[in-house]
Amino acid sequence: MLNLKFIQDNPELVVEKLKRKNFDASEIVSTIIDLYAQKNKLQGEADEAKAEMNKISKEIGLLFREGKAEEANAAKARTSEIKENIKQFDTDFAAIEEKVTNLLILLPNLPHDSVPSGKGEQDNEVVKSHGDIPVLHENAMPHWELATKYNLIDFELGVKITGAGFPVYRGKGAQLQRALINFFLAEASKAGYEEIQPPLAVNEASGFGTGQLPDKEGQMYHVTEDNLYLIPTAEVPVTNIYRDVILDAKDLPYKNTAYSACFRREAGSYGKDVRGLNRLHQFDKVEIVQIAHPEKSYETLDEMVTYVEGLVKKLGLPYRILRLCGGDASFASALTYDFEVYSTAQEKWLEVSSVSNFESFQANRLKLRFREEGVKKPQIAHTLNGSALALPRIVAALLENNQTPEGIKIPEALVPYTGFDIIN
C-alpha cells in the first residue's frame, strides 16, 4: 500500500508514475486529497470544540462557588452538547479514514525508475541471454508426449481425479519432481536461507498483506466455509510471518525459503499455451523471500537475481532475463525480473521465475517495521521474493531439451538427487 503522506506531498508524481503501469490514478488521488482536506477541516473544528469545552469546564466550578447556579447549569448543558458534537467528529473521522483506506488499496505500487513503459509482455526488456539452443534429433517430441512415452506424468488421470490442470506424476516423473525440490532447497540453504514449511491455506489478512487481496481474489481458490484461500505461492504465508512485527535493524536481511504446492485458478486461460505443463492449477515451487533494509533492497534484488541465474545455469538450460515493463509488472511490484528458459520442442520461451522488489508496498500493509539504533521511530522495511524455481516449466524444458534417441538425460547437478542419470 502506498504511503498516504507521500501521496499528499506528491500527487502529480504518483499519477504520472502509475501511468507507466497503464493505471489512471488521477481520480483516486484527487479524491484522497479532498477527503483529507475535509478531515483537516473537521479536525480544526474538533480542536476548537475541545478547547471551548475545557474552558467552560474550568468556569463551571467557579460559577457554582459564586452562587451563579443558573449560569453554571447552562454551562454544563453546553459541555454536554459539545461532547455530542465531538462524538460526531469521531464518527466522521472514522468514515473518512475508511473511505481513504478503500481508495488506497486500489492503487498499485509505483514502478521503479528503471521500469520500461509498455502494455504487455511484448514490451518487456531482455537484459541478458545465455546458452545455446539445443539441436534435437529428427523425431523429437514435446514434453507431454515424452511424459506419456516414459510414463512420467498422467494428465488424463489428473482430469479423472480432479480436473484439467492437476496432473499426476508417477515413477521417475515423481522422482524428478522430488529431486528438483530437494536440489532447490539444498541450494537455498547453502545460500543462507532458513527453510520454512508453511500452511497451504491463508486467511484474508495474509492475502491482503502481500497484495493478493483484493486484487487477485478471482485467481485464488476460496474455501468459503472457513473463509480461507489456497496459496498461489509460498510468498504469501512466508512473508506474513513478519506481519505486525518490529525487527532489529542489525538482524536484516531476513532470508527464508519454502517449498509448497501452489494453487491458481488461471481463469480465462485457454489454447495451446495450456498444453501439458505450460499452465496448471496446482504445481510445485520453491520460493525465496527476503526482508531488507530500504537502503539495501536493490542490492538484495541483484543478489537474488544472481542466485536464481545460478540455479538455471546448473540445470544447463538456455535462459534469458527480462525486466518487466509497467504493463506486465504485478500490482504490488516496484521492479520485477523474469527468467525464461527455452523449450526446444515447443520452440518458445517459458517463464520459470519472477524476482521482485516490492519496496515498502507489502510492508505498509503488513505493518512490518524495523528499529534502528539511535532512531526513536520504527521504519518500514522492504520485502522481496522470487521463484527459485517453479517446477512445471523447468520439467518441460528439461524433458524436451535433454531428449536423445536413447532417452532423456538428467543434468549432472540433479543426479545425486534423482539417483539415475537417464530416463529410458
Instruction: Answer yes or no: do 51 and 125 share one domain.
Output: no
- H helices of 105-154, in order, are 143-149
Residue 91 included in any domain:
yes
What is the rounded distance in angstroms from the CA atom of residue 16 to the CA atom of residue 24?
9
Domains: count for the chain: 2
What is the rounded distance in angstroms from the CA atom of residue 379 to the CA atom of residue 273?
43
Question: 215 with 245: CB under 8 angstroms?
Answer: no
Which domain CATH number covers 268?
3.30.930.10
Instruction: Answer yes or no: do 92 and 240 share one domain.
Output: no
Report pLDDT for 270. 54
Instruction: Answer yes or no: do 293 and 214 share one domain.
Output: yes
Instruction: Answer yes or no: do 72 and 127 share one domain.
Output: no
Instruction: Answer yes or no: do 316 and 197 share one domain.
Output: yes
Question: Binding site residues for L-serine, as ranges?
Answer: 233, 264, 287, 385
Q: Is 195 helix (H, G, I), strand (E, B) or coil?
A: strand
Residue 241 included in any domain:
yes
Which domain CATH number covers 37?
1.10.287.40
What is the rounded distance in angstroms from the CA atom of residue 369 to the CA atom of residue 372?
10
Question: 151 with 171: CB under 8 angstroms?
Answer: yes
Instruction: Answer yes or no: do 98 and 131 share one domain.
Output: no
| Final residue belonging to a domain, choices 70, 104, 138 | 104
What is the rounded distance in angstroms from the CA atom of residue 259 to the CA atom of residue 246?
26
Element (H, E) at 201: strand 201-202
| Final residue belonging to a domain, choices 79, 104, 129 | 104
Side chain identity at residue 320, one-letter code: R
> What does the block give as the cell for 283?
504445481
- Supply the range of the domain harboring residue 133: 121-423
Closest CA to 233 of 94, 107, 354: 354
Residue 74 included in any domain:
yes
What is the rounded distance in angstroms from the CA atom of residue 146 to the CA atom of residue 144?
5
Report pLDDT for 291. 98
- What is residue 120's DSSP assignment? S
Report pLDDT for 76. 82
What one-character-per-residue DSSP string does 354-420 give? EEEE-TTHHHHHHT-EEE-TT-SS-EE-EEEEEEEEEHHHHHHHHHHHTEETTEEEPPGGGHHHHS-
Please give the model's pTM, rounded to 2 decimal places.
0.91
Residue 111 included in any domain:
no
Instruction: Answer yes or no: do 175 and 95 share one domain.
Output: no
Instruction: Answer yes or no: do 47 and 191 share one domain.
Output: no
Element (H, E) at 350: strand 348-357
Instruction: Answer yes or no: do 161 and 94 share one domain.
Output: no
Report pLDDT for 325. 98
Report pLDDT for 57. 84
What one-character-per-residue DSSP string does 96-114 give? HHHHHHHHHTTSPPPPPTT
Instruction: Answer yes or no: do 159 and 64 share one domain.
Output: no
Instruction: Answer yes or no: do 147 and 36 share one domain.
Output: no
Side chain identity at residue 340, one-letter code: E
Alpha carbon 22 to its chain centroid, in Å, reads 19
Instruction: Answer yes or no: do 45 and 76 share one domain.
Output: yes
Question: 381 with 292: CB under 8 angstroms?
Answer: yes
Element (H, E) at 62: helix 26-65
Question: Binding site residues, as ranges?
Answer: 233, 264-266, 287, 351-354, 385
Question: Binding site residues for ATP, as ranges?
Answer: 264-266, 351-354
Q: What is the pLDDT along the chain (424 residues), one digit of tens a residue?
A: 999 999 999 999 999 999 999 999 999 999 999 998 898 888 888 888 888 888 888 888 888 888 888 888 888 888 888 888 888 888 998 899 999 999 999 999 999 999 999 999 999 999 999 999 999 988 899 999 999 999 999 999 999 999 999 999 999 999 999 999 999 999 999 999 999 999 999 999 999 999 999 878 889 999 999 999 999 999 999 999 999 999 999 999 999 999 999 999 986 555 556 789 999 999 999 999 999 999 999 999 999 999 999 999 999 999 999 999 999 999 999 999 999 999 999 999 999 999 999 999 999 999 999 999 999 999 999 999 999 999 999 999 999 999 999 999 999 999 999 999 999 9
> What does the block give as the cell for 329?
509488472
Place of cell 513503459: 117
